[in-house]
């Protein structure tokens, strides 16, 4: 069994990657502890609430596996220090961490930072850790590159390692294939909104972020596919990621990056 650990920024990213793991690499979501590889058991929290905080999300990875591969997807929670997330989880694995085959980090780059800058920041987080990792990592020199040492390691910057953007840039392309009519209508609706008519500044805050408009367009599509439910639910249930959308250039890059990390390529 090959074990791989992938850290992302949010739960939408988890569902996005889950579809790729299922469709491209035939991995199944593991929801029962008895079905989970014992290798990962130390990453499953034994106590609640976490740090006494009843509102804090339980930091358990999402697990996928088949007969040969076992993958843990972990949400780092936004723009935090993802290197520290890797360190914390590898430390929890203790001596088992030496058996990890691949470690991947997937983050995005909005217009405030270029992909190369986000990559540089992430790599610097690893070199500036206060204590050493329990295993030695060979660091890549470019976003999207996966080192071939053991363990394999790489950092992918959405949407394609060279363009500023987010997951929503990729989903817009996916919608153009499977939900073209919804995409057109949602885009027209968002374009028709006079955002300055919103009197309270906080009501405009999210929309005026670099990725705000694309997020609004995707939310419009999701509101039809899964009324009252989140994008994560729609990514899980609907056809954002399938054999057709996986032919998109950006999806091929991500699919191949994941394949290298988990040893499927």
The burial class, CB within 10 Å (0-12 / 13-18 / 19+), for 149 is exposed
Predicted pLDDT of residue 46: 83
Mean pLDDT of 15-34: 95
The mean pLDDT value of the chain amounts to: 91
More confident residue, 32 or 48: 32
Q: What is the pTM of this model?
A: 0.92
**Tokens 């919608």 identify what position?**
175
φ/ψ of 71, rounded to 5, equals -125, 135
Predicted pLDDT of residue 238: 96
Domain boundaries, the chain: 2-164+248-262, 167-237
What DSSP state is assigned to residue 61?
Answer: P
Q: Is the pLDDT score of 79 beyond 70?
A: no
Q: Which two tokens stand for residue 25?
A: 């690499």
| Domain 2-164+248-262 class in CATH | alpha beta
Predicted pLDDT of residue 210: 78
- The per-residue b/e assignment along 31-60, b for 16 or more CB within 10 angstroms, e otherwise, is eeeeebeebbeebeeeeeeeeeeeeeeebe
CA 26 from chain center: how many Å? 18
CA distance 4 to 44: 16
């Amino acid at each position: 069994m090959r074990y791989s650990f992938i850290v992302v920024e949010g739960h939408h990213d988890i569902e996005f990657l889950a579809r790729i793991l299922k469709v491209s690499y035939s991995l199944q979501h593991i929801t029962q502890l008895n079905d989970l590889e014992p290798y990962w058991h130390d990453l499953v929290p034994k106590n609640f609430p976490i740090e006494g905080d009843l509102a804090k999300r339980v930091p358990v990875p999402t697990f996928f596996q088949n007969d040969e591969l076992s993958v843990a997807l972990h949400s780092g929670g936004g723009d935090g220090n993802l290197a520290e997330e890797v360190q914390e989880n590898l430390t929890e694995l203790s001596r088992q961490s030496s058996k990890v085959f691949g470690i991947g980090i997937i983050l995005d780059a909005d217009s405030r930072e270029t992909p190369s800058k986000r990559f540089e920041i992430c790599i610097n987080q690893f070199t500036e850790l206060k204590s050493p990792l329990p295993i030695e990592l060979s660091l890549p020199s470019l976003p999207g590159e996966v080192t071939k040492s053991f363990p394999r390691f790489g950092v992918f910057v959405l949407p394609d390692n060279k363009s500023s953007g987010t997951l929503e840039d990729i989903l817009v392309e996916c919608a153009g294939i499977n939900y073209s009519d919804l995409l057109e209508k949602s885009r027209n609706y968002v374009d028709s909104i006079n955002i300055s008519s919103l009197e309270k500044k906080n009501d405009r805050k999210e929309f005026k972020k670099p990725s705000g408009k694309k997020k609004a367009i995707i939310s419009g599509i999701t509101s039809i596919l899964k009324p009252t439910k989140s994008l994560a639910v729609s990514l899980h249930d609907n056809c954002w990621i399938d054999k057709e959308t996986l032919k998109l250039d950006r999806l091929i890059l991500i699919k191949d990056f994941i394949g290298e990390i988990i040893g499927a390529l």
